[in-house]
Structure 1
Amino acid sequence: MAGSALPYNIPSLTTRESVVDALYRAIQGLDTNDRALFQSAVTDDMTMEIPFVGSISGPGIDKMFEGVGPMDTTHAISNVRVHVEEDSKTATVTAYAVAQHFKAGEGSDPTSPNLLAGAMYTLALVKDDSQDLWKVKKWVAEIKWRQGDPSIMTWRD
């Protein structure tokens, strides 16, 4: 369970809530720099596409976590829609995200450079029966707007 106050698998959740919980686990893992929580929410071969950054996958996801995880960040998720396929093993989620990013340890300094961004997330998820958890297999973050200093995103090439 690492730094999370809750277990990764919460049996009382409905299927829809369990699907959305994968997104919440991933985001909370990033915002709290909890690698185990983040990894509980994504497949080993997850791909992520961010229009102005490109596509990352596999070990690139580790690079993304190592860059964003230590930062002072908050991601607010809303307008979540869920479609669970008839096979009950795959699902699609769309959601809005507003994320504030500061370099590690600088979030409480009002003079620190930051990056605020609004995005539309589209996620493809699969059910991992071995862990009884839904996991993100593909994550597309379509940045709709951003303001601030994009250079603070250290994980970018």
Structure 2
Amino acid sequence: MADAAMAAYDRTMALPAVLTPALDTREAIADSLHRFMLGMDTNDAELFDSAFTEDVKWDLFGRQMNSLEEVHIECFDKTIIKLDTTHYVTSVRINVAESGTEASLSCLYNAKHYRLGTGVDPKAPWFWTGGTYYLEMVKVESEGLWKIKFYKMRKMWIEGDFEVMGHGPKKD
């Protein structure tokens, strides 16, 4: 299937950012993480963006970003859309603040990466990583969504060819 046809096919499978019926609080908080992961894995910028506040802070093992615009410039547009990826999360734990409008979430992740268009090639090079995510969220009443205002990723292990990520050789 051609890239353009595949992109159109993927969009037909997308669900809206706000799901019905309304999710309970913990489901809605976890859904911000799911929108983030699915937005990356399907290269769906709209779904990806729906997971974050405009002033989101990212900490990727010490690399700081301070807005959704910067996340797009430094990560989504530069790297994510150039990859075939699958991100899985498990051991999700959610703590809701007494205010009911803020929450934190931690989980384990496992993510496999291939260069765009090569994910179905069994001989293609890949990069695989696992670790922990930590997120702080806020409820955005006007949109009916929980959004991530802080995201931190901690790699615990890596395997495969780091150059798949488009950053050049891995430096120790």
Q: Structure 2 length normalisation: TM-score?
A: 0.83
Q: Deviations over 1:33-66 (max 9, x none)?
A: 0000000111111121121x61223232103111
Give the counterpart of 1:123 among 135, 142, 155: 135
The aligned residue for residue 166 of structure 2 is 154
The aligned residue for residue 98 of structure 2 is 86
Q: Give matches, 1:1-157, under 5 Å.
A: 3=11, 5-10=14-19, 11-51=21-61, 54-58=63-67, 59-63=69-73, 64-66=75-77, 67-154=79-166
* Aligned AA (1:40): S
Range 142-151 or range 91-100, more displaced: 142-151
Q: Say which one has the larger Rg.
A: 2
- Quickly say closer, same or farther: Cα 1:68–1:14, change in 2 above 3 A: same
* Greater relative CO, 1 or 2 (CA 8 Å, sep 6+): 1
- Quickly say closer, same or farther: Cα 1:116–1:49, change in 2 above 3 A: same
Q: Structure 1 length normalisation: TM-score?
A: 0.91
Alignment gaps of 5+ in structure 2? 1-9
Identity over aligned pairs, percent: 34
Alignment gaps of 5+ in structure 1? none
- Counterpart-to-counterpart distance in 1, 2:48 and 2:129: 20
Which structure has more helix as a fraction of its residues? 2
Q: CA deviation at 1:109?
A: 1.5
- Quickly say closer, same or farther: Cα 1:30–1:146, change in 2 above 3 A: same
Q: Deviations over 1:49-103 (max 9, x none)?
A: 121x612232321031111134100001110000110111110000111000011
- Counterpart-to-counterpart distance in 2, 1:39 and 1:155: 23
Aligned residue pairs, count: 154
